[in-house]
Amino acid sequence: MGRLKGASSSRRDIVDACLKLVLEKNYGAFSISAVEKATNLTRGSILYHFEDKEDIYYATVEYLMQQIYNNFENFIMVERASLIEFILVYIDNIQNLSLNIRALTDGRQSSYAFFVLQAMEVYPNFIEKYTALYELERKGWETHLKAAIARKEIRDDLDVFTLVGQFQSLYNGVLLQSGLLPQIFNTTVLQSLMMNLYNEIKVRPDNRSFGLVGR
């Protein structure tokens, strides 16, 4: 995921050049003039491929969401040796997503949270796209948590549905916080939170239980 170098008149290249715009600008500031500047193309060349700014915005949002979905799909259902391994792979992929977005937005960490809030208001199919991503992530967590219970890595009295929500909420909470206080967001914080939760649910040699997320 990234901008292509130089100007090009292809629809895909215009979308690539507009990724920074949808991550940084509200819809009111997303104009054909801004697209001209981002692509180094004339208005006529841009409108040869798109009907108007709305068409460009929708295409760019859809492309970005598809790239994020593909990233999750490539790792989320891959079988892992342990829940710990899955958590670390999950965090590594979140880190890569964060770095890609920071590269597009000159280091502004909060841009993804800003993008989500903007796109939710403007793009009619955004809830559907975001829900598909959320469900893919939920299915991945559910699969790996059930596998961890089966191999006696974590306790068997856990409510998996609740636990999935807790792990997902940790990421969503850190993401939301990054939109309000950009300097706080980093994957070290996310990893610490997830590992703390893991330590509370793992099977202990002395069978001690803190009773978290139990049935």
Provide the CATH number for the domain around residue 90. 1.10.357
**Can you read off the two tokens belonging to residue 33?**
């003039």
- Structural domain total, the chain: 1
Q: Highest-confidence range of 20-24, 26-30, 45-49, by mean pLDDT?
A: 45-49
Is residue 195 one of the residues assigned to a domain? yes
Is residue 86 one of the residues assigned to a domain? yes
Strand partners, 154: 202
Give the three-state DSSP class for 158. strand
Angle (CA) 10 65 148, round 5°: 140
- pLDDT confidence bin for 142, thresholds 50/70/90: very high
Is residue 154 one of the residues assigned to a domain? yes
Q: Let me know: does 27 contact 58? Beta carbons within 8 Å.
A: no
- Residue 131 is part of which domain span? 54-201
Does residue 184 carry a pLDDT above 60? no
For the stretch 51-103, pLDDT in tens is 999 999 999 999 999 999 999 998 998 999 999 999 999 999 988 888 888 78
**pTM over cut 0.85:** no
